[in-house]
């Protein structure tokens, strides 16, 4: 799946750390999280202690996001995989399931569909990654909290990425944030990865390869052999072993092997 432009991050919350949460949601959640953790804390007596307080709260916020993200993925993954073999009328991850899990009314779900807080793949078919984002946001609050856990409004003056992943144009280039859905003008040999393992749920974009429970990785598009060898020098040796009987399926297998080798050190490093 692709978007029209390569959108640059505009805030510190447009960050792959928070996938699958959109940047606006991460900022909204952090604002509430920070307020809660400073409301009863002593007032810092210096700029250094204020910075230390902020850094400590930020670290705790990121750790909570990571924990809730994995819990949500584990909670939903079997449902999402099973639903790929079912008709819409037999989906487990149905509007009724979403309403029950989020304790919301049909009217609220309809409004959230209209505002793209929960996307839809068609009538009666909620889009799983957006459902996961709302579940993560909801789980950031204690069960007795009544505060709205997603932003009451969505910024509409620019296209809003679903979430952000990491991108790397070559092995020697530094990683940088990339919006998802990915831009259509992104070079096909660009490597993309995320700490969000549910990236591979997207049936319209099956290029994501899961890296255990750590995350997912892919190339932006079809990768030529010469570009694959830049990323993984062993790809040349494996290609020679295949010999002249080279099919598209073998090509895909070699690419998947290279991606697997590249994936773990990147998603693990981000942890």
DSSP annotation of 242 reads H
215 beta partners: 211
Task: Tell me the average pLDDT across 9-26.
Answer: 90
Mean of all residue pLDDT scores within the chain:
84
**What phi and psi values does residue 211 have, to the nearest 5 degrees?**
-115, 80
Q: Which pLDDT band, with edges at 50, 70 and 90, does 193 fall under? A: very high
Q: Which pLDDT band, with edges at 50, 70 and 90, does 213 fall under? A: very high
Q: Please say if the pLDDT value at position 246 is more than 60.
A: no
Task: Tell me the average pLDDT across 44-72.
Answer: 88
What is the model's pTM? 0.86
Which tokens is 64 given?
A: 């909570």
Alpha-carbon gap, residue 96 to 86, rounded angstroms: 16
Task: Tell me the average pLDDT across 87-102.
Answer: 90
Strand locations in the chain (E) = 2-3, 163-168, 176-180, 182-183, 191-194, 209-211, 215-219
Task: Tell me the average pLDDT across 241-264.
Answer: 73
Which pLDDT belongs to residue 271?
Answer: 46
Q: Please say if the pLDDT value at position 229 is more than 90.
A: no
Contacts 24+ apart (CB under 8 A), 22-29: 22/133, 22/160, 22/161, 22/162, 22/163, 23/160, 23/161, 23/164, 24/151, 24/154, 24/155, 24/160, 25/133, 25/137, 25/150, 25/151, 26/65, 28/150, 28/151, 29/61, 29/137, 29/140, 29/149
Task: Tell me the average pLDDT across 3-16.
Answer: 74
Task: Tell me the average pLDDT across 14-33.
Answer: 93
Range from 13-17, 51-55, 202-206, 258-262 that averages highest in pLDDT: 13-17
Q: Please say if the pLDDT value at position 245 is more than 80.
A: no
Q: Which pLDDT band, with edges at 50, 70 and 90, does 150 fall under? A: confident
Alpha-carbon gap, residue 188 to 165, rounded angstroms: 15
Q: Which pLDDT band, with edges at 50, 70 and 90, does 140 fall under? A: confident
The CA dihedral of 178, 180, 181, 185, to the nearest 10 degrees, is: 0
Contacts 24+ apart (CB under 8 A), 207-211: 209/256, 209/259, 209/260, 209/263, 211/260, 211/263, 211/264, 211/267
Which tokens is 165 given?
A: 């992943």
167 beta partners: 176, 192
Residues 6+ away with beta carbon under 8 Å from 185: 5, 6
Which tokens is 202 given?
A: 């997207």
Task: Tell me the average pLDDT across 232-252.
Answer: 69
Q: Which pLDDT band, with edges at 50, 70 and 90, does 268 fall under? A: confident
**What phi and psi values does residue 183 have, to the nearest 5 degrees?**
-65, 145
């Amino acid at each position: 799946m692709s978007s029209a432009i390569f959108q640059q991050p505009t805030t510190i919350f447009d960050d792959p750390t928070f996938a699958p949460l959109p940047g606006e949601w991460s900022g909204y959640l952090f604002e509430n999280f920070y307020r809660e953790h400073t409301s009863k804390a002593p007032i810092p007596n210096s700029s250094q202690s204020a910075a230390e307080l902020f850094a400590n709260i930020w670290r705790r916020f990121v750790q909570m996001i990571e924990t809730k993200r994995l819990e949500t993925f584990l909670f939903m993954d079997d449902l999402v995989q099973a639903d790929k073999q079912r008709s819409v009328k037999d989906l487990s991850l149905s509007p009724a399931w979403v309403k029950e899990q989020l304790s919301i009314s049909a009217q609220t779900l309809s409004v959230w569909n209209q505002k793209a807080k929960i996307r839809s793949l068609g009538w009666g078919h909620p889009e799983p990654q957006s459902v996961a984002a709302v579940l993560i946001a909801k789980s950031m609050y204690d069960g007795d909290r009544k505060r709205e856990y997603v932003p009451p409004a969505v910024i509409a003056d620019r296209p809003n990425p679903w979430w952000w992943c990491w991108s790397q144009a070559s092995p020697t280039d530094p990683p940088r944030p990339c919006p998802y859905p990915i831009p259509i003008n992104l070079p096909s040999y660009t490597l993309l990865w995320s700490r969000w393992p549910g990236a591979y749920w997207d049936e319209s974009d099956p290029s994501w390869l899961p890296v255990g429970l750590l995350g997912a990785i892919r190339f932006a598009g079809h990768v030529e052999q010469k570009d694959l060898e830049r990323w993984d020098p062993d790809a040349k040796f494996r290609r020679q072993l295949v010999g002249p009987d080279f099919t598209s399926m073998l090509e895909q297998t070699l690419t998947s092997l290279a991606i697997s080798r590249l994936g773990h050190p990147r998603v693990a490093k981000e942890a």
